[in-house]
Amino acid sequence: MGLFSGIKAMRNWAKIKDGGKEKMSIADITTFIINLHDAERNLSDQQFKAAYALYKALRKCHTKMEMDLNGYYEQAAIIIGIFNQVAPYEKYSGMEKTEAIFFIDGIKPLLEELKPRSVSLLNSIRSSNPELNKYFPKEEQDIEEYLLELANKHRCKEMDEDIAEIMEKAPIGTTRDHAAMFEGILITYAFSGKRKALDVADKLFRKWIDNDKGIPMAQFQISYFCGILNVNKVLTDEEMNHFIKVYMDIFKSKLVAYANANKSPSD
């Protein structure tokens, strides 16, 4: 942001806070709500690279939109929804740590409501900023394909040994591809943090449950891999037990629905 355009944006923001309406761009709002110094200090190297790439891409969005205070907060939440996929926003919001945590907890319902618009904005900037594809898996890509590609991209001797160790104790029906997908989750954790890793794990586990078709395989595989997430310090003991319960409840409801759908009229 140039000096004079930055001053004008700050004046417009002041008028909006006072109850008026002014024109602001996504670039303006991104500058106000992202603290790069905090990001560089609090994020991992990979997280910072992703956050900075996203920051630069959004800073190219100069189209002005008239908005009041509610409109500003809504647009800010849409932007935060994208940054949250890279690393927890509270770590580079520019707020004091406790204040940031309370803030992000308070806007979670809004972030969820505006998630489709966050996805739409992200998709709109990806075509002109292909470097973002390194940090955001394509929404249309199958989660199993994505994790396998990620694992193959980072394949090494140590990974092959990890996969072999996983397969030694894995439940019946677990394939090497399943183990490689799990390695993809661990790679996501190393590069993008816990939140992103659990997001892709959730997508994978839910797909396994959907594909089970009444055969009780996914429940054992999910419990097993949740245990390995715990061993690798991705999940605490309490989180592991909670995750297993959540997926077992989903599995049970799917199993009941499958059984009812295949019940004969005479039953």
**How confident is the model over 100-106, as a mean pLDDT?**
83
Residue 267 lies inside a defined structural domain of this protein: no
Give yes or no: residues 157 and 252 share one domain.
yes
Q: Return mean pLDDT, the chain.
A: 86
The range of the structural domain enclosing residue 152 comes to 143-261
CA atoms 66, 72, 77, 79: torsion sign:
positive
> Of the given ranges (45-54, 145-154, 158-167, 252-261), which has the lowest mean pLDDT?
252-261
pLDDT of residue 116: 81
Residue 266 lies inside a defined structural domain of this protein: no
pLDDT of residue 263: 57
Q: Which of 76, 110, 134 is the last residue of a domain?
A: 134
Separation between Cα atoms, residue 29 and residue 21, nearest integer Å: 15
pLDDT of residue 259: 60
Give yes or no: residues 169 and 100 share one domain.
no
* Number of domains within the chain: 2
Give yes or no: residues 130 and 147 share one domain.
no
Alpha carbon separation from 43 to 18, 26, 90, 101, 103 (Å, rounded) = 34, 23, 11, 16, 19
pLDDT of residue 255: 66
Closest CA to 86 of 48, 124, 127: 48
Separation between Cα atoms, residue 163 and residue 167, nearest integer Å: 6
- Contact residues for 84 (Cβ-Cβ < 8 A; gap 6+): 111, 195
Give yes or no: residues 34 and 123 share one domain.
yes
What percent of the chain is modeled with pLDDT above 90? 48
Separation between Cα atoms, residue 173 and residue 66, nearest integer Å: 57
Higher pLDDT, 83 or 260: 83
Alpha carbon separation from 181 to 7, 148, 193 (Å, rounded) = 49, 5, 17
Q: Which of 86, 114, 134 is the last residue of a domain?
A: 134
pLDDT bracket for residue 177 (50, 70, 90): very high
pLDDT bracket for residue 183 (50, 70, 90): very high
Instruction: Estimate the crossing angle of helix 194-211 against helix 176-192, to 10 degrees.
Output: 160
Residue 110 lies inside a defined structural domain of this protein: yes
Give yes or no: residues 159 and 96 share one domain.
no
**How confident is the model over 223-250, as a mean pLDDT?**
92
Give yes or no: residues 101 and 206 share one domain.
no
3-34 per-position pLDDT tens digit: 334 577 788 878 888 888 999 999 999 999 99
Compute the half-sphere exposure of residue 84: CA atoms within 13 Å on the CB side of its CA: 20
Strand pairing class (64-67; 22-25):
antiparallel
